[in-house]
Chain A
């Protein structure tokens, strides 16, 4: 129990660290031209002990890095109104602003009342207004939630700012390497280590309800698949067969896990029923079959196989049956990931010595390479399908990037330390 207590205290400490504590910075390397001008006015603050998180700063950063909005810097603002009565719409119109966000954070006995209003500057009318109550620890999440509300109101798409990302880091001290499975907010803050080992950790996969993560651990010097519940840290070992235990992928209903086992010889795709614990072998080739991923309706599995000589993607019914080759362009297509609407898949596409992220349209089967790195891997869709998060490398630095489906918008997520890889966006 003292172990748990220690972990909890560390967690609490990081809650109260002010927003200057950045584990990660995000650079927008390419934005879209049609970004909407929006001003997020610094929120008014009331309270004795100050506010631990600059809520409006977080909202401004969220909207700005989405690429859909161009935010106005504070110095250029004609005024800093925090109530509707104080807003002079003409001033904001003159600056070419389409939208205006104002708000207040009021401390009340250790709790915070956060309120905000979104205005259409040209019509001079309110589009949305909310009041929320938050603990100090949850202020950042409240801010991300505000960003989601504004984003959805103005773009019609669900916001992804209050989501989380899981990823693997590795750091090295002398000859000792430490692998960590971490979960952070979508903007890289509140990073928590949920598993750590001196042996490799791999392949984190979120359960569809976002409460659990399946992953591969070599902590016993051979591979095993674990499922860990985030809220409690409890975990269960679900696969520990001789050979490979890898590439876990949750069925959309959360009841099954597709995975790769090599217990019978070559690596094959299996389905593990998490309720009955029954195991069904899906592929039976003598080649490498691995990296299964479910279509969002649960009907199909796409996987990587080198049965044709080089790794390519194949598709089959999740009930078993005929396996059909999906990819034909390029000599290396692997590690598929379905878009949430099932209309496209992202993959690692190798051509010559470069490995990049490509997207295939499932209807036309056309493949579009959307990144330009030399070593891009592990694509993961945002839950609204608008962006793909992936791991990239420049020189010796491993980092995460996000790219829009058409490749036009690109962000680089730079973490302070460590080698970072295998990002997975929470559902």
Chain B
């Protein structure tokens, strides 16, 4: 800390060159952003949702089936539990009909496995303002959480976090990418 202070002091003393002679104008600039030390030393890594440049709606960084480690049913393409991403329409948190059976399958699994917890990560596409997209992502995740609760899943098994547009699944800037980014990812936490 001491080190920082040593370089901080900055004073510009200004003297009028001509005109009123000895009149000193003091234009002191303070502040020391230049020496601001970074306060964060974050070494966390395991990002499940950084899938980049992959195509296909069910692919992400962990491969085809991000929850495969939980049980064999999560990587069986014929089992709705293999689907772990729910997609949404523009500026909407309404669950589309296609995904109702998927959510029901996850709800059933959670009811049958009360020790399991799932984090619902809400996301949005990049359009519009960032904090509004955080709110929208949370609404999306919460609409799935409330469907699951109605189906008997306990509060304590569900956690909601919204990343808004900050963690896109697809890095493009077109409709095809935006569709993939308006989503909720169900991330099982294991035992």
Contact = CB atoms under 8 A, between A and B. Distances in A.
Nearest to A393: B173
Nearest to A130: B14
A205 to B, nearest CB: 11
Interface string B1-43: 1011101101111111111000001010101111111111111
Contact of A217 (B15, B40, B41): B40
Contact of B1 (A4, A175, A375): A4
B185 interface: no
A355 B132 CA distance: 13
Nearest to A144: B29
B160 A197 contact: no
A262 interface: yes
Given A175-B47, A199-B42, A211-B31, A377 B161 contact: no
Contacts of B4: 4, 8, 231-233
B61 interface: yes
A97 interface: no
A142 B1 CA distance: 25
Given A288-B132, A334-B129, A142 B34 contact: no
B91 interface: yes
Given A162-B29, A243-B160, A290 B134 contact: yes
Contact of B39 (A198, A218, A235, A310): A235
A132 B13 contact: yes
B161 A221 contact: yes
B91 A310 contact: yes
Contact of A131 (B15, B42, B163): B15
Contacts of A267: 135, 138
Which of A84, A117, A176, A288 has the most chain B CB atoms closer than 10 A to its own CB? Answer: A288
Nearest to A394: B173
A344 B91 CA distance: 27
Interface stretch (A19-27, A32-40, A188-196, A406-414): A188-196
A291 B131 contact: yes
B41 A8 contact: no
B33 A230 contact: yes
A231 B173 contact: no
A172 B52 contact: yes
Contacts of B27: 132, 145, 149
Given A129-B16, A129-B19, A132-B12, A311 B25 contact: no
Interface in A282-327: 288, 290-291, 304, 310-311
Nearest to B130: A202
Given A5-B3, A137-B7, A145 B12 contact: yes
A135 interface: yes
A192 B36 contact: yes
A19 to B, nearest CB: 16
Contacts of B164: 202
Interface residues of B, number: 62
A180 B160 CA distance: 25
Contacts, number: 220
Contact of A378 (B5, B129, B166): B129
A12 interface: yes
B50 interface: yes
Contacts of A350: 127-128
Contact of A422 (B17, B19, B32, B130): B130
Contact of A231 (B36, B47, B126, B135): B36
B136 interface: yes
Interface string A191-229: 011111111101100000011000001110111001010
Which of A135, A235, A290, A395 has the most chain B CB atoms closer than 10 A to its own CB? Answer: A290
Contact of A290 (B8, B132, B161): B132
Given A135-B10, A138-B10, A232-B1, A7 B37 contact: yes
Contacts of B47: 175-177, 198-199
A256 interface: no
A244 interface: yes
A129 B18 CA distance: 7
Given A4-B3, A195-B38, A198-B42, A246 B131 contact: yes
A200 B166 contact: yes
A117 to B, nearest CB: 6
Interface string A6-17: 011001100100
B67 interface: no
B82 interface: no
A162 B171 CA distance: 36
Contacts of A12: 7
17 contacts: A130-B25, A132-B12, A138-B12, A192-B34, A199-B47, A202-B131, A218-B163, A221-B44, A228-B39, A231-B4, A233-B39, A246-B135, A290-B131, A290-B134, A291-B131, A375-B127, A396-B173
Given A3-B41, A288-B135, 13 more contacts: A130-B15, A133-B11, A137-B34, A183-B36, A197-B40, A199-B44, A231-B31, A231-B32, A267-B138, A335-B130, A355-B128, A375-B127, A377-B128
